[in-house]
Amino acid sequence: MTVLKKIFFIVTLISLLSFSATSIISAQPSTFLIPPTEFKAFDTPNDAGEAISLTWSASPSDASDVFYVIYIDKDTNGTFEREAIRIKSNTSYRTSAPEIYGYKKGNGDYHYVQIFPSKIFNREAPGQKQVYYFKLAMVTDDTKITLDTIASASARGNWLHTKKINNFVIMIMLSTIILYFIVHARRNPNMFLRRIGGLDAVDDALGRATEMGKPVLFVHGLTGMGSISTIAATSILGRIARRIADYDANLKVVNNDPIVMSVSQEVVKESYLEAGRPDAYNPDNVFLVASEQFPYVAAVGGIMTREKPAANFFIGYFYAEALILAETGASTGAIQIAGTDAYTQLPFFITTCDYTLIGEELYAASAYLSREPMLLGTLRAQDVGKGLLIVILILGTILASFGVEYITHLFEAF
């Protein structure tokens, strides 16, 4: 009996111990979730006033099956039932927001998210002073730990994007240099200007068209008047039209944008007027051929093959149509001058045209053709600007080679 009692006691003891051990093991996840700290909310800087940023320290328990859930409420004593965001705990770090935290090494130790309260509250207009309260919870399939800390912030619009100050300073510097050289050019009009082959050839091309009695075709790119390339193109058109009016040649301008067409008509008309030849201006020679890319190509190609212009000018921003247009023009034997800042199309123009204005030369063309001192001043300013950029590039390369990346981030755009 005593032996049986002993056996029963041992079996019961083992059973109890096993049960306790199993309970401890199964409860382990909840006890091992280490909650994060330093939970903070603040107004997202440099925005229109719609976002609130939240940050907290990373936890050793962060894993793909552990989630962070942020609850939002308009009242600090609220129920915090509305879920603002849910993220995997091993994602969304401060490293994803260099515009706020820069490139510090410790950024990977903190989580960062942005909340848009107006979206969560179905675009209710909260007003600038509405304070929002946030609670952070760490959640797994069977465990949930909610931090006691309540973070609060209100979203406010900013009047200056502080991360664009670098851009602003560079713009002011370049603008000052440009304006200085414009004023300087007034006093010193005999400025040296390197020769641009494509622009020197304009007179030859127009002279050839005049002698042959064939038209000059000016082809605009595909962008509208909002593009700086098109504005530069219309400026060049004005200079070319003035010379054509002097030579009494025939100018045809094809467009694919009605606004560009209207501006071009006015530019050509004024140029003829200025040359004292208003009677020679024909508004039907500045026309819209098609507003879509490939119908435009087909129409312009047709004009080239039927009318065989003596000179073709392709000025502006071009896309895939560049080569088709230029190759068709080359097959008709025309002198071709292209000017574009679309670097993807430059090789095609260089291949098929007699002269190509590369990138910045497109913007220099108006000044070069007019020889107006004030306009020429901007060309000198551009050269000085390029000199500065070269110095900065060399300096940046040297510093980056030695692991100093400050200058790289100094010019970063956000």
Partner 1 sequence: MNFLKRTVPLFIAFVMGVLMAMQYYVPHKLSQDLLEVITRWDRIIAGFAVFIGAYSLFHLHWTRIKRKIEGWGYSVFVFFGATITLIFGLLNGGKFFWNDKQDGTMFDWLYYYVQVPAGATIFSILAFFIASAAYRTFRARTKESTVLLIAAIIVMFGRVPIGNYISQYIPAVADWIMAVPNLAAKRGILLGVSLGAIATSLKIIFGIERSYLGGGD
Q: How far is the CB of 143 from partner 1 (least distance, A)?
A: 40
User: Which H or E element spans position 25?
Assistant: helix 2-32
In contact, 240 and 252? CB cutoff 8 Å: no
Indicate the residue among 76 and 282 with the shorter CB distance to partner 1.
282
Q: How far is the CB of 303 from partner 1 (least distance, A)?
A: 9
Q: How far is the CB of 167 from partner 1 (least distance, A)?
A: 8
> Within a 10 A sphere around the Cβ of 25, how many other Cβ atoms?
9
- Cβ-based burial of 119 (10 A; exposed 0-12, middle 13-18, buried ≥19): exposed
Question: Which one-letter amino acid corresponds to residue 355?
Answer: Y
Q: How far is the CB of 307 from partner 1 (least distance, A)?
A: 8
3 state DSSP class of 1: coil
Q: How far is the CB of 165 from partner 1 (least distance, A)?
A: 8
CA distances from 366 to 235, 242, 345 (A): 6, 12, 21
User: Which H or E element spans position 19?
Assistant: helix 2-32
Q: How far is the CB of 377 from partner 1 (least distance, A)?
A: 9
Q: How far is the CB of 397 from partner 1 (least distance, A)?
A: 11
Indicate the residue among 139 and 392 with the shorter CB distance to partner 1.
392
Q: How far is the CB of 175 from partner 1 (least distance, A)?
A: 6
Tell me how far apart the alpha carbons of residues 368 and 184 are, in angstroms, rounded to a whole number: 17
Indicate the residue among 55 and 234 with the shorter CB distance to partner 1.
234
3 state DSSP class of 360: helix
Indicate the residue among 182 and 407 with the shorter CB distance to partner 1.
182
Indicate the residue among 40 and 252 with the shorter CB distance to partner 1.
252
In contact, 296 and 260? CB cutoff 8 Å: no
- How far does Cα 123 stand from its chain's mean position? 28
Indicate the residue among 178 and 337 with the shorter CB distance to partner 1.
178
- Per-position b or e across 259-278, b if 16+ CB within 10 A of its CB: ebbebbbebbbebbeebeee
Nearest one of 318, 226, 302 to 263, comparing CA atoms:
226
Indicate the residue among 54 and 325 with the shorter CB distance to partner 1.
325
- Cβ-based neighbours of 115, under 8 Å, separated by 6 or more: 51, 52, 53, 54, 70, 72, 84, 85, 132, 134
Q: How far is the CB of 375 from partner 1 (least distance, A)?
A: 7
Tell me how far apart the alpha carbons of residues 220 and 259 are, in angstroms, rounded to a whole number: 12
- Cβ-based neighbours of 407, under 8 Å, separated by 6 or more: 392, 395, 396, 399, 400
Q: How far is the CB of 70 from partner 1 (least distance, A)?
A: 24
Tell me how far apart the alpha carbons of residues 362 and 346 are, in angstroms, rounded to a whole number: 12
Can you give 324-353 as a three-state secondary structure string? HHHHHHHHCCCEEEEEECCCCCHHHHHHHC
Indicate the residue among 204 and 266 with the shorter CB distance to partner 1.
266
Indicate the residue among 82 and 161 with the shorter CB distance to partner 1.
161
Please tell me what DSSP assigns to residue 35: P
Indicate the residue among 108 and 276 with the shorter CB distance to partner 1.
276
